[in-house]
Amino acid sequence: MAELTKTILNEWKEKTLPEVISRETDLLGYADTKPNKIVVITGFRRTGKTFLIFSLIQKLLKEKSKEQAVYVNFEDERIPLKTEFLTNLLPAIKQMYNKQLEFLFLDEVHNIPEWSKWLRRVYDSEKIRIFVTGSSSKMSSKEIPTELRGRFLEVKVFPLNFKEYLKFNNKSINLKVVDHSENEKAKIIRAFKDYLEFGGMPEVVLADEDRKIEIIHNYYNTVIRRDIIERFKIRNQESLKALLNLLLNSTSYSISKLYNTLKSLNFEVGKGTIQSYLSYIENSYFLHSLQLFSLKIKDQMQYPRKIYLIDNGFITALSSKFSKNLGRLYENLIFLELKRKLSSDPKQDAYYWRNQQKEEVDFVIKQGLKVKQLIQSCYEISDYDTKKREIRALVKASKELKCNNLLIITEDKEGEEKIEGKKIKYTPLWRWLLM
C-alpha cells in the first residue's frame, strides 16, 4: 500500500495537465472561502468535473507547486477500495513532499468506504483546502453524509450550456450583431440544431460527427455498468435494462404503469424493486423527474412524473423512434437549462401543471411560496390547433396559480400577444438559451 501511494504521488508530480477550455463555472472563487469549507463538485459522469479541477490547479500552480496542490483520482484501478488507502494518504504526502500541503483534490472519493468520516477528521484537524468530486447524488446537498453537513459547499456541474457549446466550437456570440445580420443568425441556428440533437457532453461536442453516437453509447454503457449495476449490486440486470428502455422512450412514468408494462413483457419485478431501480438511475444523474405542481402531497405522489435525461444526445442515440422527436428534444433542453439556472437557488424549483381536463403547462417555476413563471415548450406553434391548446392551458394555469409571467418557447416565433387579458411572450429556444 505504501509503495502504491508513493507511486501515485510521484506520478502526480510528473503529470502534465491537459489543455482546458474555460467554462462559466470557475472554482477559483472557492479556493479562499471564509470560513474554510469542503467543496463538493457533483454531476453526471464526463460532464467536466475533473477538468474544472485541472483548470483551478493550473491557476494555483502560477504561485504554488504540485507538492502544495495534490490531486488523486480514485477511479484509478490500482487504488484498492479500502479506507486504509485514505488513512495513509496524508502521512505519505508529508513524508514525500518538503512543502506544506495547502490544497487536496480527491476525484470520485466516494468509492472508498468511510470516506466521509475520514474527510471530516482531516477537515477538523488539518489546515487544508479540500475539493472532492462525485458522479453520485449521494454526495449532493440533499444526501451528503451527516458528518459533513454544515462543512461543505456544493458546486453542480452540467453538460455544456449553449453559450459554452459555442465557445468550445470557437464561435463568438453577440445578440446585437445577430439581430442585424441574417448571416450571423444563420450560423447560430445551424450550431443550435447540432446542439439540440447531440447535446453538450464536452467530449461529444469536440468529436467528429461520425463518432458522436459511438461516444454517447459508451457513456451510457459505462453509467449502467459502473454507476448502477456495480454500485448497487443489481442481480436482475435484464429487468433493469428493460426498465431503462421504457424510460428512454417515454415522457412520463408512474410505478403502476411501469409495473404492468414490465409484467406484460414477462419481467417478474415488484413495484418496490422498480422504485429502487428508479432511485438508482436518478442517483447517477442520468435521469431527472418532474413532479406535478400541487398543494396536496397525495396528488404529487400519485400523478405521473415527467422524465428528462441529462443530455439530449442520449435521446438521439438511444431512443427507439426512427425519426427525430423535435418536441421532446426541445422540452428536454428547456428542462436542463432551467435545472442549471435553479440549481444555485434552494428557494426555487420547477414542476409541471395539469388540470382534470388533462390540459398541461410544461414548467411551473416556483420561488418560495409564489409561482414566478409559467413556461410552455412548443416547437410547432405555427399549427393552429397546437397553438390554441398550448395557450388555453397556459391561461388557465395563469388564473389558477395567479401568475402573469407567461412564456412560450418556440422554434422561431418571437413577440408578444394578449389573450383574455394575459400577456404571453414568445421566444425562440436558441435565443432563450443565450439570455
Q: State phi, psi for 170 to the nearest 5 degrees.
A: 55, 35
Identify the CA nearest to 320 among candidates 264, 254, 248, 368.
248
All structural domains of the chain: 2-157 (3.40.50.300), 191-434 (1.10.10.10)
Identify the CA nearest to 152 among candidates 164, 163, 160, 140.
140
Q: CB neighbours of 312 closer than 8 A, spacing ≥ 6?
A: 195, 196, 197, 198, 199, 200, 329, 332, 333, 336
Amino acid identity, position 220: Y
Local confidence band at 321 (pLDDT 50, 70, 90 cut-offs): confident
pTM of the model: 0.95
Q: What strands lie across the sheet with 370-377, from one edge to the other?
A: 348-354, 360-367, 370-377, 406-410, 422-428, 415-419
Identify the CA nearest to 28 among candidates 103, 99, 90, 101.
103
pLDDT of residue 295: 85
Q: Are 415 and 426 in contact (CB under 8 A)?
A: yes
Distance CA 69, CA 57 (A): 7
Q: What is the 8-class DSSP label of residue 251?
A: S
Average pLDDT, the chain: 95
pLDDT of residue 301: 84
Distance CA 200, CA 205 (A): 6
Local confidence band at 10 (pLDDT 50, 70, 90 cut-offs): very high
Local confidence band at 142 (pLDDT 50, 70, 90 cut-offs): confident
Local confidence band at 100 (pLDDT 50, 70, 90 cut-offs): very high
